[in-house]
Structure 1
Amino acid sequence: MKKIGFIGYGSMGKVILDGFLLSGILKPYEVIISSRTGSKLECLKNEYPEIEIAQNNTITSMKSDLLFLMVGTSDVKNVLEEIKEFTSDNTHLVYISAALTMENVNGIFQGKISKVMPSLTSKVLEGVTLICHNSDVTIAEGEYLNCLFNSIGISKVINEEDFDVGADITSCSPAFISQIFMEFAKTASMNSGFSIKETEEMVIKTLYGTSKLLSEGMGFENLISSVATKGGITEEGLKVLDEDIPATFKKLFSKTIKKHDTIKSELKEHY
C-alpha cells in the first residue's frame, strides 16, 4: 500500500504534518518522511513511532503517491532532479513555495502538481490554506487534498495568478497584524501608566474577542458601527485611521507585489 510522503521537516513542513496528525486526518502509519537533517525527525518518531523514517528522498518518492515537498524554495529544483526518476504517473506532487510557478515545476516534473500556501495559524488549526491544481490533478485528488487542509483550518482553491495577493492576505498577514497591534500597544503604554506588557495583554485579549465576533458573522462594518457612536471618542480615532490607513495599505501591497514579481523573475531564470 502506498503511503503519503513528506520530504522536508522545516518550520512550515512541521506545522503541516503535525497539524494533520493532531487533527487525526492522517494516521502515523500512513506517513513516510525524509529530511536532510535527520535529527529533526527524532522527536517526531518518539511521539509517533508508527511513522516511517526513510533514509533518503528517493525512498520516500517511490513509496508515495501523494508527495509533499516541504523544502525551501532554493532547494526545490535540486530535490525535483533527485526524485523525478523515482516517481510514477500516479504521483501527485504538492509543494509550498508560493513564488515558484507550476510552470517552473512542470519543467522538471511532468505530472500532477498542486501548489499550496498554508499559514502559521495552521499551527492552531485555524486560518486559510490557499491551493491551486494543474489540469492533471483529478477532481477526486483535488478534493482529498482540500480535505486534508480543511483539517488544519479551511482550504480555498484559487487561480494561480491570485497567489501573490492571496499569500499577503493569509500567510503574511499574521505578521502584518502583529506589527500593527504591537505599535498600538507601545503607543498606548507611552500615553498611560500601563507597562508595555499590560497593554499587549489587553490588546491581545481584545483582538481575540474581536476575531470571534467577526468569525461568528458580525462583519467589519457592523462591528465598527456597534462601537463607534456619533460624536464619540471611537469616531474621533476612526477619522485618523480613515485618513492614514488606505495609503499605508496601498503602499504595502505595491511593495509586496513588486517583491513577488522580482522573486518570480529570478526563479524563472533559475529553472
Structure 2
Amino acid sequence: MKVGFIGTGSMGSLLINTFLASGALDAYQITASNRTREKVVNLASLHPGLYPAKTNRETAERSNIVFLCIKPHEFKEVIEYIKPVVTPDQIIISITSPVQIRHLESALPCKITKIIPSITHLTGSGASLCIHGNRMNDEDKQRVEMLFSYISRPIRVEETYTRISSDFSSCGPAFVAFFLEQWVEAAVRKTGITSDEATRLASEMLLGTGKLLAEGAVTPSQLQERVAVPGGITAKALNLLDSSLAGVFDQLIQVTHAKYEKDLEALDAEFGAGEINRQQY
C-alpha cells in the first residue's frame, strides 16, 4: 500500500508521525508534498525512506490512498491540479469537515472518504470520524478503518452530524484544555499551589475520568451522583457550575455550526453545488 499526503502542516504531519510510530505504515510507503517543499524535505530527513514529492500531482500518481490535509479554500485548486492523474481505483481522503463527499465525488472519478482526526491520536487514542462515500465498498472501508485503528478508534458517523461529532472528538480537546487551564490558574491565584502540581493533578484526573466514561463503567450523570454527596463540597460546586454555565454549551454549538455553515456555503459556491445538489445526497 502506497499512501500520499498532500499538505504536511499540523494535522498532516501528525498523521504521518503517528502512522509511522504506531507501525501502521513504513516510511518507504509514504509520499508527501507541501506548498513549501522545505517542510517535506525536513520531514523526509526525520523519516528516511519517505519520498518528498516535488508536486501534488506526483504525490497522487505515486499513491493508492491520498490524504488531502489542506484548508477548505485550497481544495478546488488542488483537486483540479491532481485530477488528470487520479484513477477510479484510488481512495482520496479529506480530513476537512466542511468539505462534503458530494463536492469531491462531483469533481473526481475515484473513491472518496472523509476522516476527521484528532490531536489525541498522538497518544494512540481518541475517535477518528469516518464518513465514507458512495463508491467505497466494504473492503475499501475496512482498509481505511484498519489503518486508523492503529492510532485511534474509528467511528462511522453520518455526514449530517460531522460538525457536532467534530465538536467532541476534534475540537473537544481544546475546549477541555481551556477549562482545565482556567481552573489551574484560579487554583494558583487562590491557594498558592504551583501550576505544575495543579496541572499534573488535573491531567491525571482527566485521564481517569475519561477511562471511566469510555469503558462504560458509568454515565456522566452517574459519575456526578457517585462523587457528589448531597450537601457536600462537590454538590455545592456543581450547583455553581450549573448556574454559571447555563446556556454556554448551546452557544458553543451555535458558534461552531455557524462557522461550519459559512465554510460550507463558500465551498458550495466554489464547486458549483447549490441547494438542489445538496438535497440529492
TM-score scaled by length of structure 2: 0.89
Post-superposition shift, 1:159?
A: 1.1
SS at match of 1:20: helix
Query: Which letter does structure 1 place at the counterpart of 2:243?
Result: E
Residues 74-133 of structure 1: CA deviation (Å, up to 9, x unaligned): 221111110100111111111111111122222321331101110111122111111111
Q: Give distance in 2, aligned partners of 1:232 and 1:5.
A: 55
C-alpha distance after superposition, 1:4-39 (max 9, x if no partner)? 222121110011111111111112222222222222
Contact (CA 8 Å) 2:5, 2:66: kept in 1 or not? yes
- Distance, in Å, in 2 between the alignment partners of 1:269 and 1:72 is 16
Counting only pairs closer than 5 Å after superposition, residues 166-177 of structure 1 correspond to structure 2 as 166-177=165-176
Matched letter for residue 88 of structure 2: D
Code of the aligned partner of 1:192? T
The worse-fitting range, judged by mean Cα deviation, of 249-258 and 198-207 is: 198-207
Equivalent residue of 1:231, what SS?
A: coil
Q: CA deviation at 1:245?
A: 2.9
Aligned residue identity for 1:256: T
Quick one: distance in 2 between partners of 1:106 and 1:23?
31
Q: Mark the runs of 5 or more structure 1 residues left unpaired by the alignment.
A: none
Which residue pairs with 2:22 in the alignment? 23
1:156 matched to which residue of 2? 155
Shift of 1:163: 0.3
Q: Find the counterpart in structure 1 of residue 193 from structure 2.
A: 194
Per the TM alignment, residue 165 of structure 1 is displaced from its structure 2 partner at its CA by: 0.5
Equivalent residues of 2:69, 2:95 under 8 A apart = yes
**Which residue of 1 is the match for residue 274 of structure 2?**
none
Distance 1:37 1:51 in 2: 16
Q: Which residue of 2 aligns with 1:236?
A: 236
Matched AA of 1:245: L
How far did residue 205 of structure 1 move? 2.9
Alignment partners' CA distance in 1, 2:192 and 2:121: 36
| Residue in 1 that maps onto 2:50 | 51
User: How many aligned residue pairs are there?
Assistant: 270
Q: Deviations over 1:25-81 (max 9, x none)?
A: 112222222222222123432232222222222222122221111122222111111
Q: Is the 8 A contact 2:34 2:40 kept in 1?
A: yes
Structure 2: how far apart are the matches of 1:202 and 1:65? Answer: 45
Q: How many Å separate the matches in 1 of 2:194 and 2:50?
A: 46
- In 1, Cα distance between equivalents of 2:78 and 2:181: 39
1:110-259 aligned at under 5 Å gives the runs: 110-219=109-218, 220-259=220-259
Deviation at 1:207, TM superposition (A): 2.0
On the 8 A contact 2:86/2:110 being kept in 1, the answer is no
Give the letter for the 2:149 counterpart.
N
RMSD of the TM alignment (CA)?
1.8
TM-score under structure 1 length normalisation: 0.93
Q: SS of the counterpart of 2:64?
A: strand
Percent identical among aligned pairs is 29
Contact 2:61 2:85 in 1 (8 A): yes
Q: Deviations over 1:227-269 (max 9, x none)?
A: 2112111111111222333411111112211221122112211
What secondary structure, in the 3-state scheme, does the structure 2 residue paired with 1:94 have? Answer: strand
SS at match of 2:108: coil
Q: Deviations over 1:153-183 (max 9, x none)?
A: 1111111111010111111111111111211
In the TM superposition, residue 195 of structure 1 has moved relative to its aligned partner by 4.0
Where 2:151 maps in the other structure, the secondary structure is coil
Once residues 198 and 50 of structure 1 are traced to their aligned partners in structure 2, the CA distance between those partners, rounded to angstroms, is: 41
Aligned to 2:74: 75
Kindly state the Cα deviation for residue 202 of structure 1 after the two structures are TM-superposed. Answer: 2.8
Q: Secondary structure at the match of 1:266?
A: helix
